[in-house]
Amino acid sequence: MTRNAATTTLYALATCLVIATLASLDVRAEPDELKVENVYVPEVCDVKSKKGDQLTMHYTGTLKDGTKFDSSLDRDQPFTFQLGVGQVIQGWDQGLLDMCVGEKRKLIIPPKLGYGDNGAGNVIPGGATLLFDVELINISDSPPTTNVFKEIDGDKDNQLSREEVRTMVSEYLRKQMVEAESTGAGDNEEVKKMLADHDKLVEEIFQHEDKDKNGFISYEEFSGPKHDEL
């Protein structure tokens, strides 16, 4: 983690916004069908994923020629998102329904349900068919908070005080520590240090966000995600 980890927290969900934007691109690719292949279905499969669920997945994405463009396995960190609300490409929103924990699928996603004619970044060319090997790790009811501003603004006065930001930073760091312990990642010394030092992080956030230096971060000043819907 860097010194700016707490500021980064504020932007953590910005990635979701970018993905949503990519997913909503106007696409005029050839019509084509989404293909879903069952690779593995556990014997016990009572709870199945549905729209609005928060899913935690491992995935590996490749192009038709076998080029791997992204994999959560390489990062050793599963990906969590809300299903069916446009946070991810349509191929995922459609192809990951009715799935149970432990189930593995292969998705073959046509460009119109992926990144369309424009592609994404310099890793996915325009008009690309995407292959995803996915494994569902967890289903949870609670959707991720998309309005970070509202979340931090405890007293709902539409501005963030130092106290409110400090609470957010502490909670986030504590969560990081619990997570590091539960995954046995071990290296939570840095997080502990940051927890002890979190006043400094709060100041860094205010330096960056409190543009008129009045001691509060207003809704307009706040640069993290603050939309109610994605």
Closest of 1, 24, 27 to residue 12, by C-alpha: 1
C-alpha–C-alpha distance, residues 86 and 182, integer Å: 30
Q: Do residues 69 and 60 lie in contact, with contact meaning Cβ atoms separated by under 8 Å?
A: no
Tokens encoding 104:
């593995």
Respond yes or no: is residue 206 known to be catalytic. no
Give the CA-trace dihedral at 170, 173, 177, 180, to 10 degrees: 160
To Ca ion, the closest distance from the beta carbon of 154 in angstroms equals 6
CB of 219: closest distance to Ca ion in angstroms? 10
- 192 alpha carbon, distance to own chain's centre: 24
Shortest distance, position 175 Cβ to Ca ion, whole Å = 21
33 vs 157, beta carbon nearer Ca ion: 157
**Of the listed 69, 117, 133, 137, which one is catalytic?**
69
Minimum CB separation of residue 156 from Ca ion in Å reads 7
Asked whether 159 and 83 are in contact (CB, 8 A), the reply is no
Active site residue 11: no
Cβ proximity to Ca ion: between 79 and 216 the closer is: 216
Specify whether the CB–CB gap between 211 and 221 falls below 8 A: yes
Minimum distance from residue 171 beta carbon to Ca ion (Å)? 15
- Based on CB atoms, which residue is closest to Ca ion, 10 or 16? 10
Q: Which of 115, 149, 206, 222 is catalytic?
A: 115
Q: In the complex with Ca ion, which residue's Cβ is closer, 53 or 210?
A: 210
Considering the candidates 70, 117, 133, 137, report the single residue annotated as catalytic.
Answer: 70
Catalytic residue among 81, 132, 149, 172: 132
Q: Is 70 a catalytic residue?
A: yes
In a 13 Å sphere around the CA of 172, the CA atoms on its Cβ side amount to 21
- Does 219 participate in catalysis according to the annotation? no
> What does the binding site for Ca ion look like in residue numbers (CB under 5 A)?
153, 155, 157, 210, 212, 214, 216
Residue 103 or 153 with smaller CB distance to Ca ion? 153
Q: Which of 19, 79, 81, 89 is catalytic?
A: 89
Write the DSSP assignment of 17-69 as a string of letters.
HHHHHHHT----PPP---EEEEEE--S-------TT-EEEEEEEEEETTS-EE
Residues marked active site are found at 59, 69-70, 89, 115, 132
